[in-house]
């Protein structure tokens, strides 16, 4: 996806509809000169609703929506006529979207399923008409309720990519090449850092028609948790991945140090990320002999599975898929 077409955060001022006022009305017709109260209730103000849509991958379609103002409810009328409810506004968003209150910085909604609906802002309730206040001692109440005001405020919609496997590594580690090799995704590939500026998603075809989703994420640099490089804008997309596949190139000067730096940046950003399943893949392994592979294996953590691969020659790509599939499904069963 082109950088200009990928929008993963927007800020919108939202205001739900005010409730309509109840009616203060008394029955009057040619047969009744002074009838009892028959004022109807006001209509409900329109809600602002978030709805999940699995066909959307970005917040681009909301880029120019700076203000979303919902419709007010109609006022009540005579003859116990209830006012019209405001027409709800439904905002369709990609799966993985969260809504944050800018003022309190609290998360207020999270969309994870197709068709899921969450009321982001409730419309005000309509006021009661004077017919509701008639009692044995007050046969002609001359008051009705005003409608409730709606809610308003600035909301931040933030997309965190939903994928089963997230590729983690320094810039130019070969993540885009791997994604292009085992999926139909056409990621941009070049021999310089930060080729990938936005997340790229691809479906990995497994055995017997089964598949899982893999995301190529912009490369981490040391200090990313403090906002260096692409910083937080990238790290948020890792939070939802079930498995993190650390890609370390075979020609790295220190494979263990590179892994430790990546792991440290994740921990600084969100310690919960350390609870995910980790797998290490040594890319560009077609240049290694068995002795070098054994030497690199000694450097790597013993409690994390690792595999040597080559995206260019296809070496060990099917065993990598098998490993990811097995870990992914073991995780889901727990």
2-26 pLDDT per residue, tens: 445 667 889 999 999 999 999 999 9
Report pLDDT for 266.
85
Residue with tokens 């980790």: 278
Among 123-127, 159-163, 227-231, 235-239, the range of highest mean pLDDT:
123-127
**What are the residues whose beta carbons fall under 8 Å from the beta carbon of 174, sequence distance 6 or more?**
247, 249, 283, 284, 311
Query: What CATH number has the domain bearing residue 35?
Result: 2.70.210.12
pTM of the model: 0.71
Give Cα separations from 135 to 28, 37, 141 (angstroms): 20, 11, 8
Give the separation between CA 82 and CA 287, rounded to whole angstroms. 77
Give the separation between CA 188 and CA 2, rounded to whole angstroms. 9
**106 in the same domain as 27:** yes
Report pLDDT for 209.
82
**178 in the same domain as 134:** no
Q: What is the mean pLDDT of the chain?
A: 86
**What is the DSSP annotation of 108-139?**
EEEE-STT-EEEEEPPPPPPPPGGGG--SS-S
Domain boundary among 159, 178, 209: 159
**249 in the same domain as 120:** no
Report pLDDT for 57.
80
**95 in the same domain as 193:** no
Report pLDDT for 316.
93
**263 in the same domain as 284:** yes
**214 in the same domain as 154:** no
**55 in the same domain as 69:** yes
Domain boundary among 127, 159, 191: 159
**291 in the same domain as 178:** yes
Give the separation between CA 292 and CA 250, rounded to whole angstroms. 9
* Crossing angle between the packed helical segments 175-182 and 317-333, to the nearest 10 degrees: 90
**112 in the same domain as 198:** no
Query: What CATH number has the domain bearing residue 267?
Result: 3.40.50.300
Domain boundary among 124, 159, 194: 159
- Give the closest residue to 59 by CA, choosing from 16, 87, 98: 98
**135 in the same domain as 8:** yes
- The domain total for the chain is 2
93-134 pLDDT per residue, tens: 999 899 999 999 999 999 999 999 999 999 999 999 999 999
Give Cα separations from 33 to 23, 26, 27, 29, 37 (angstroms): 19, 10, 8, 6, 12
Burial of 90 (0-12, 13-18, 19+ CB in 10 A): exposed
**145 in the same domain as 120:** yes
User: Could you list the residue range(s) of the whole structural domain that residue 105 is in?
Assistant: 1-159
**324 in the same domain as 212:** yes
Q: Which two tokens stand for residue 267?
A: 């921990």
Torsion from C-alpha of 55, 229, 324, 3, nearest 10 degrees: 30
């Amino acid at each position: 996806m082109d950088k200009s077409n990928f929008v993963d955060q927007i800020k919108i001022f939202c205001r739900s509809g005010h409730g309509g006022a109840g009616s203060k009305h008394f029955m009057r017709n040619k047969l009744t000169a002074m009838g009892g109260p028959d004022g109807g209730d006001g209509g409900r103000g329109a809600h602002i609703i978030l709805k999940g849509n699995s066909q959307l991958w970005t917040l681009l379609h909301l880029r120019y929506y700076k203000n979303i103002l919902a419709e007010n409810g109609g006022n009540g009328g005579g003859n116990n006529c209830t006012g019209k409810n405001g027409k709800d506004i439904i905002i369709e968003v990609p799966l993985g979207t969260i809504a944050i209150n800018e003022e309190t910085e609290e998360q207020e909604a999270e969309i994870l399923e197709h068709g899921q609906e969450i009321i982001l802002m409730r419309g005000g309730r309509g006021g009661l008409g004077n017919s509701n206040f008639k009692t044995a001692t007050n046969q002609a109440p001359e008051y009705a309720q005003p409608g409730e005001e709606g809610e308003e405020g600035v909301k931040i919609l933030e997309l965190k990519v939903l994928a089963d496997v997230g590729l983690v590594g320094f810039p130019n580690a070969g993540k885009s090449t791997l994604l292009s090799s085992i999926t139909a995704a056409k990621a941009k590939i070049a021999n310089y850092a930060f080729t990938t500026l936005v997340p790229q998603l691809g479906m990995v075809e497994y055995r017997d028609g089964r598949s899982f989703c893999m995301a190529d994420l912009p490369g981490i640099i040391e200090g990313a948790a403090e906002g260096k490089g692409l910083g937080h804008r990238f790290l948020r997309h890792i939070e939802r991945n079930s498995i993190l596949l650390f890609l370390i190139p075979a020609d790295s000067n220190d494979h263990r140090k590179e892994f430790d730096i990546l792991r440290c940046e994740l921990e600084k950003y969100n310690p919960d990320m350390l609870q995910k399943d980790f797998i290490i893949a040594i890319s560009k392994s077609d240049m290694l002999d068995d002795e070098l592979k054994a030497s690199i294996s000694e450097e790597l953590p013993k409690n994390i599975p690792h595999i040597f691969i080559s995206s260019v020659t296809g070496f060990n790509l099917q065993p990598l898929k098998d490993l990811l599939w097995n870990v992914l499904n073991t995780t889901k069963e727990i």
